[in-house]
Chain A
Amino acid sequence: MKLQMKTVLVLTAILAASALAPSIVAAQHGMPGGTPMTFFVTGEPIGDGGNLGGLAGADAQCQKLATAVGAGNRTWHAYLSTQGRPGQPAVNARDRIGTGPWYNFDGVMIARDLAHLHGDTLDLARMGNNLTKRTGLTEKGQIVPGLNDYQVPRDSEWEYTKTTPYTNRHEMLTGSQLDGRAYPPGVDYTCNNWTSNSDPAPGGPQVLEGRPGRPNAQIGFPDRNGGGNGSWNSSHGTTGCSQTALNRTHGVGMFYCFAVN
């Protein structure tokens, strides 16, 4: 018994000294001295598919959700890119979110800086950042339901999903490439710069990528599980830009919010 207790203490000490510790002391959120939240996944969608009211509408959603949990004292930006238009340069998601480090609801660091978040070097990219299913929390500290959490055939139907909050909804809108930058103009990766809720004409190819004239948004996974790659910010496209189309592949039009200050 004594020996077992010693083992437990040693194990606890090792865990406490490692980066595993924050997930164990998650209950410390809100305690004096805790690290304030500067990152979250939106706990609820705007609800009109890829029409977020542009970047401003998405930012306002971040700000509204943050304010509702007492974090409205910061300036929040949605992690979204927009593509270039005549007389209107592209906006890169990575240029909108400050410099980090960013911490989630539990005070766990998601990434040290932009290079860590995006894996700007081969070494950084291979090791990955610290955004996982267990750290990609909403502003209320909830884990975002992903693959295998609650499998029902109807979990890709919006009419069912919108009243069943524990079904898979792990696709985050980003409109971004792997490096966090916008796609070139032309093919749609941003639901027309987050103003479109329209879908491709019926009968077209069933693909999850941009094609000329095809409404589409690039998405990523906070649980790092999907699309065969698990990219947090640029895994694949959508079946369209309506709320129904986003849900078909297990998204509901949520996105990442970062505090810039």
Chain B
Amino acid sequence: MPTSDRIPSSLMTFFVTSEPIGDGGNLGGLGGADAHCQMLATRAGVSGRTWRAYLSTQARPGQPAIHARDRIGTGPWYNAKERIPDYLGRRLQRPIIQSEIHGDTLDEARRGSNMTKEFAVTEKGELVNGIGDPLPTRHDILTGSQPDGRAFTDAADHTCNNWTSNGVGSAQVGHSDRVGNGNQSWNSSHGTTGCSQRDLVSWGGVGLFYCFAVN
């Protein structure tokens, strides 16, 4: 098998977790979520990278907010799979770009990024079930973030109490297939009602999140 067909590709610096932690919005805080990213990457045979979960936490007394976009390095980031050959026979591996996925300029926001259902695959190179696929839908991806990748600044909970609650609260989620709720946001489509595993499932997710390598 050619090197380029190996999954995960040696270029992989981005994936959607193939499985949730399983306790709803309680991820054990950012530390627990990062460890989950690291564990899945290691299990897939990837070493030598530092992985961060794409999650924000909200400010608390004496504890500033943390913005998901500031945690993930600078990119560009590649997924687990090579792309199919294009019309010239080139095996393009298009990455996602920090400013494009967050739409930092109006042109970038309008044009969009390479974050598609086909790009947002797991560390095993598998598609994440979205709208129209067999149930259960798993496309709600925990982020706790606004569309620009930053933490919410209001008093309401958007992070399941900074990823420690499996009961009350709410988590902002995006859609890995870019479909649902009348918008196409990959990182900030809607909130959930509740933070239990069952609550997440009722909205079309299982508690997956995005992992980025910072190096």
A-side residues, CB < 8 A to B, are 7, 10-11, 14, 18-20, 23, 109, 118-119, 121-123, 125-130, 132-134, 147-148, 151, 156, 178-179, 206, 224-225, 228-231, 234-235, 239, 248-250
- Given A23-B132, A125-B103: A229 and B111 within 8 A (CB)? yes
Q: Does chain A have a CB within 8 A of B112?
A: yes
Q: Which residues of B contact A23 (CB under 8 A)?
A: 131-132
- Grouping DSSP codes into helix (H, G, I), strand (E, B) and loop, the A interface class, with mixed when no group exceeds half, is loop
Number of interface residues of B (CB under 8 A): 36
- Given A119-B110, A126-B103: A20 and B116 within 8 A (CB)? no
Binds A, one of B34-42, B51-59, B67-75, B179-187: B179-187
CB under 8 Å from chain A, chain B span 92-127: 94, 100, 102-103, 106-107, 109-114, 116-118
B-side residues, CB < 8 A to A, are 84, 87-88, 94, 100, 102-103, 106-107, 109-114, 116-118, 131-132, 147-148, 178-185, 188, 190, 198, 202-204
Q: Which residues of A contact B87 (CB under 8 A)?
A: 156, 239, 248-250
- Given A127-B147, A132-B184: A225 and B118 within 8 A (CB)? yes
Q: Pick the most buried of B113, B147, B184: most chain A CB atoms within 10 A of its CB.
A: B184
Give the distance to chain B from A122, nearest Cβ to Cβ, in Å.
6
Q: Which residues of A contact B180 (CB under 8 A)?
A: 18-20
- Given A14-B203, A23-B132, A228-B114: A122 and B106 within 8 A (CB)? yes
Number of A-B contacts (CB under 8 A): 101
- Grouping DSSP codes into helix (H, G, I), strand (E, B) and loop, the B interface class, with mixed when no group exceeds half, is loop
CB pair A128–B184 under 8 Å, yes or no, is: yes
Q: Which residues of A contact B147 (CB under 8 A)?
A: 123, 126-127
- The chain B residue sitting closest to A156, CB to CB, is B87
- The chain B residue sitting closest to A223, CB to CB, is B116
Q: Which residues of A contact B198 (CB under 8 A)?
A: 7
- Contact check: which of A14, A122, A206 meets B103 at CB < 8 Å? A122
- Contact check: which of A7, A126, A229, A235 meets B148 at CB < 8 Å? A126
- Given A10-B202, A23-B132, A132-B178: A224 and B184 within 8 A (CB)? yes
Q: Which residues of A contact B190 (CB under 8 A)?
A: 18
- Contact check: which of A119, A147, A228 meets B109 at CB < 8 Å? A119
Per the bound structure, the CA–CA distance linking A147 and B198 in Å amounts to 34
Q: Which residues of A contact B204 (CB under 8 A)?
A: 20
CB pair B111–A224 under 8 Å, yes or no, is: no
CB pair B181–A128 under 8 Å, yes or no, is: no
CB pair A122–B109 under 8 Å, yes or no, is: yes
Per the bound structure, the CA–CA distance linking A213 and B148 in Å amounts to 40
CB pair B109–A126 under 8 Å, yes or no, is: yes
Q: Which residues of A contact B202 (CB under 8 A)?
A: 7, 10-11, 14
CB pair A20–B110 under 8 Å, yes or no, is: no
Q: Which residues of B contact A18 (CB under 8 A)?
A: 180-181, 190
Per the bound structure, the CA–CA distance linking A176 and B207 in Å amounts to 39
Give the distance to chain A from B21, nearest Cβ to Cβ, in Å.
21
Q: Pick the most buried of B107, B109, B185: most chain A CB atoms within 10 A of its CB.
A: B109
Give the distance to chain A from B105, nearest Cβ to Cβ, in Å.
8
Per the bound structure, the CA–CA distance linking A151 and B85 in Å amounts to 10
Per the bound structure, the CA–CA distance linking A109 and B183 in Å amounts to 11
